[in-house]
Amino acid sequence: MKFEVVSREFIKPHHSTPPSLRDYTLSLVDELLPTMNLPTIIYYATDNHSSISRCEHLKRSLSKILTRYYPYAGRYIKESFMVDCSDQGAEFVEAVVDVSLDDFISQTKNAKMELLNCLLPHPIDAGDEVTDPLLAVQVTAFACGGWAIGVLASHRIADMSTSSTFIDEWAINANQLLEGMDENDEYPMSPRWTSASLFPGKKLSGLPRGLPRVKEDSDDHKIVTKVFSFNKSSILRIREMARLDKSSERLPTRVQSVFGIIGKAIMDIQVANHASSKEFLVSQTVNMREKTDPPIHKNQCGNLFLVSTAHIVAGKRGVEFQSIVNLLTQSVRSEVENCKTILSVGGQVIITDGFDRLTRTLANLDSSSNLVFSDWCKFPFYEADFGLGKPVWISGINSPLGNNVYLFSDKFGEGIEAWVNLNANDMHKFQQDSNIMEFCT
């Protein structure tokens, strides 16, 4: 399989950013995050618009949408904890690969997840330097006429909710251009870049990650990524099994139940490796938007989440599944309750205390005891139609972050794809776990 980069350029906003918006200050949550980019790859089948230059169409619509997402066209200035929004531009890369889209997806799902990383313009940790773009896009054409858009958005100024909103609005704008609509027509969304007014920054250092700035494959970082699919009926069975009170009609959520079945398998492996009981810290992000009082709008940009943590002790025989699901559920509910008061006077303390607890706990645990779960099921990536058809698949990458699990909805919105990142030895055992074998397709 041969990848080739055809071109690289920087796309600037269609309209210059006003001087009053040139300095974008980070919020408190922005400051506390590690240096990394959030990756999303969106795949499309062959389109029927042969008369349209796909990349030129995407560049033009990207330029227009950057007018509204102007920090993405800026550069981060570490010393001042702010973004210089002087329209330096978002990076746009064109690439080609000499296999069909179906063959590529088949190879990655079956054995070679590291191939996914070739669809991104940079490694996920290439950030925070003044030369690093805060948004980088790679459009890759497959031999069959299918194509993929790989989006890297800097976690310094955006969480996955912001990235999803951006992709959604970019697609809407691209559709409008194909339909000949005027650029000044009304947009259905209005991004808000005012998070620092809600949670002013304090010029604090972020969490360390220690990720490489150069591209690696799985042989370098020893982390294996695999996708495990849970269909609708399997998820219902897992939820039934997770219910603590069998007399209650209320079931645990789909997400916490799937996280529970995966978490149990990982913890049982780790305890077996150590032949003794072991303490685990499981962290999940909780989106603040629409949960605060008054509600933060769903299109508020930036990093707007809290980190829930659950301490779980697994005995020599492993850990009870229902107990894991219950602890994960309670930890998330606790942070949802915190969201209700976070806009009050003491809101910043809730944020800093949560990150401080996480940092202190991680310092006292070995890396195999830290599990990170992320739920991206509600983001409408499969609706991202740039005027050339809806996606046929959404993917992450072969991540260098071990003990990391994130969830996407499947194409039909009923199932869940779990992206599990483990070291090679643990992944082999994980695939042989009885629950994983029973419930995954």
Per-residue pLDDT of 379-399, as tens digits, reads 999 999 998 899 999 999 988
CATH number of 218-376+401-439: 3.30.559.10
- With residue 6 as reference, give the H or E element that holds it: strand 3-11
Q: How confident is the model at residue 119 (pLDDT cuts 50, 70, 90)?
A: very high
- The reported pLDDT for the residue numbered 189 is 61
Using an 8 Å Cβ cutoff, are 73 and 17 in contact? yes
Our measurement of the distance from residue 31's CA atom to the centroid of its chain's CA atoms, rounded to an integer in Å, reads: 18
HSE-up of residue 41 (Cα within 13 Å, Cβ side): 25
* Fold exhibited by the domain 3-198: Chloramphenicol Acetyltransferase (3.30.559)
The 8-class DSSP code of residue 342 comes to T
Give the total residue count for the chain: 441
Catalytic positions are 155, 385
Would the pLDDT of 184 be above 70? no
Per-residue pLDDT of 400-418, as tens digits, reads 888 999 999 999 999 999 9
Alpha helices in 97-210 (DSSP H): 101-110, 160-178, 195-198
- With residue 227 as reference, give the H or E element that holds it: strand 223-230
For the chain, how far is it from start to end, CA to CA, in angstroms? 27
Per-residue pLDDT of 6-40, as tens digits, reads 999 999 999 999 999 999 999 999 999 989 999 99
Put simply, whether the predicted model's pTM sits higher than 0.95 gets the answer: no
Q: Tell me if domain 3-198 and domain 218-376+401-439 are identical in fold.
A: yes
* Rounded distance between C-alpha atoms, residue 114 and residue 177, angstroms: 35
Per-residue pLDDT of 264-293, as tens digits, reads 999 999 888 777 788 899 999 999 999 999
Would the pLDDT of 4 be above 70? yes
Instruction: Report the candidate in 118, 152, 160, 156 with the shortest Cα–Cα distance to residue 135.
Output: 152
* Rounded distance between C-alpha atoms, residue 332 and residue 129, angstroms: 34
- The reported pLDDT for the residue numbered 219 is 56
Domain boundaries, given as residue ranges, for the chain = 3-198, 218-376+401-439
Per-residue pLDDT of 151-177, as tens digits, reads 999 999 999 999 999 999 999 999 888
Instruction: Report the candidate in 339, 332, 277, 338 with the shortest Cα–Cα distance to residue 309.
Output: 332
Which residue would you say has higher pLDDT here, 219 or 7?
7
Q: How confident is the model at residue 208 (pLDDT cuts 50, 70, 90)?
A: low
